[in-house]
Amino acid sequence: MKSRADVKLSDVVKRAQDASVKFVDLKFVDMLGTWQHFGVPLHQLDDGLVKDGSGFDGSSIRGWQPINASDMVIKPDLSTAKIDPFSDYATMSIVCNVFDPLTGIPYSKDPRFVAQKAEKYLTSLGIADTAYYGAEPEFFIFDDVRFQQTPNVGFYQVDSAEGRWNTARLEEPNLAHKPNYKGGYFPVAPTDSLVDIRREMVEVLESLGITIEAEHHEVATAGQCEIDMRFEPLLNLADTMMWFKYVVKNVAHVNGKTATFMPKPIHCDNGSGMHTHISLWNGKTPLFAGNEYAGLSQMALHFIGGILKHAPAVCAFANPTTNSYRRLVPGYEAPVNLAYSSRNRSAAIRIPMYSDSPKAKRIEFRTPDPACNPYLSFAALLMAGLDGIERKLDPGKALDKDIYSMSESELSSVPKVPTTLTESLNALKKDHDFLLKGDVFTPDLIESWYDLKMNDEIKPALSRPTPTEFEFYYDC
């Protein structure tokens, strides 16, 4: 496989011409993990654009530049070029990096640059050359979504023909076969009504060169789904995650439905997580396989120790919304206890035991959710694990009991993930030195992240009455 630096502009342009491409869509990711873009005619994709980039207003991007220093530049990474499967006009899509136009250096708050620096820091330590990541993003496919927040109105309503709450709805006829609450895991059609739409998503993803391992309905009623991608190096998988969300949302849209990666859109049923698998390799040698607990190496145990130690701070990136913490509550398969175990899905870190091959040996951090910015979440996890390796952090004893059956007194000694985004951000404020190593994360990014989340999300959410508060307190 060619390295990113080996991709030639002439080859990319020829591929575009062979596909009758007329436009190039230049994409970059903002702080919160949303793709931003603008388009140029194909003839604009030349040496000048590749070397000098194209300008945009950085003050209009959340958490980035002030208006008095707004000019920014993006430069395309030619290795990311793909033909957009949704545009009515033949379009090539290219992911870009962000640069400061005055200094010419990469922008410290560009999440993609953070991921690139994390990979570089890994190789600088001399212990591994690749961090492989696998992700299992869950999502809901709804038929109708309505919400509003004004001074005198605040509500949301989601609906799905699959929703268990619709068993009595007049559908002329109502054919039933609606997954029960927490009953959506693996039933065949007609109970699983979304087989074809998921397979359309898989077809589109694979047409983009993204290898899919499995697709299925998930636990919750009302259209919860999962599509699993094959593992890739950190940066590659973060790029792939952006395409994944784009494809899932657009395939749903063209089918008259809507998809969301919101962690907890439904009360009293499972939320959507994004179990994240990690392993370190040196060339063709897997470094997490060994003779310690569950077939792990000592390096892997230290890596686990780092994640467990820094998990509250990592959650500020891996579980970055106020809604994330509606999912991180006991009883819904969301791991809130910071422990590790083989096979045990109630632990925050699981060691999958499907295969005894050293190549399959990895850890699975089950706490993250798909609302995260994958570049920042994956980079933060790597930096936490590497800190564990560098400092030889002991993860403690494995917890192989069923955590959900343990008594309150037994659980009291098991550390927990934060219960709110505020707690996670405060943990990040206190514990972020491990992120600053190698200049991977920078103080200005961490400060901007804290301010953005606190001022634009937490404070507005705290000041709004909710329907539940009317239920509790109206007659007080």
Q: How far apart are CA 340 and CA 348, in angstroms?
A: 6
Regarding beta strands 285-286 and 340-342, do their DSSP bridges make them parallel or antiparallel, or are they unpaired? Answer: unpaired
| Residue 275 annotated among the catalytic residues of the structure | yes
Neighbours of 358 (CB within 10 A): 15
233 contact partners, CB below 8 Å, separation of at least 6? 119, 130, 131, 132, 133
Which is catalytic among the residues 30, 226, 232, 269?
Answer: 226
| Residue 345 annotated among the catalytic residues of the structure | yes
Which is catalytic among the residues 30, 119, 218, 369?
Answer: 218
Which is catalytic among the residues 112, 164, 198, 275?
Answer: 275
Which is catalytic among the residues 46, 57, 203, 213?
Answer: 57
| Residue 218 annotated among the catalytic residues of the structure | yes
Which is catalytic among the residues 25, 84, 119, 136?
Answer: 136
Which is catalytic among the residues 277, 327, 362, 366?
Answer: 366
Which is catalytic among the residues 25, 30, 138, 192?
Answer: 138
395 contact partners, CB below 8 Å, separation of at least 6? 301, 302, 304, 305, 308, 340, 388
| Residue 169 annotated among the catalytic residues of the structure | no
424 contact partners, CB below 8 Å, separation of at least 6? 312, 313, 315, 316, 319, 418
Type of residue at 344: N
Which is catalytic among the residues 345, 390, 431, 457?
Answer: 345
| Residue 369 annotated among the catalytic residues of the structure | no
CA 285 to chain centre: 27
Which is catalytic among the residues 25, 119, 192, 364?
Answer: 364
Q: How far apart are CA 397 and CA 382, in angstroms?
A: 22
Regarding beta strands 82-83 and 153-159, do their DSSP bridges make them parallel or antiparallel, or are they unpaired? Answer: unpaired
Active site residue ranges:
57, 136, 138, 218, 226, 275, 345, 364, 366
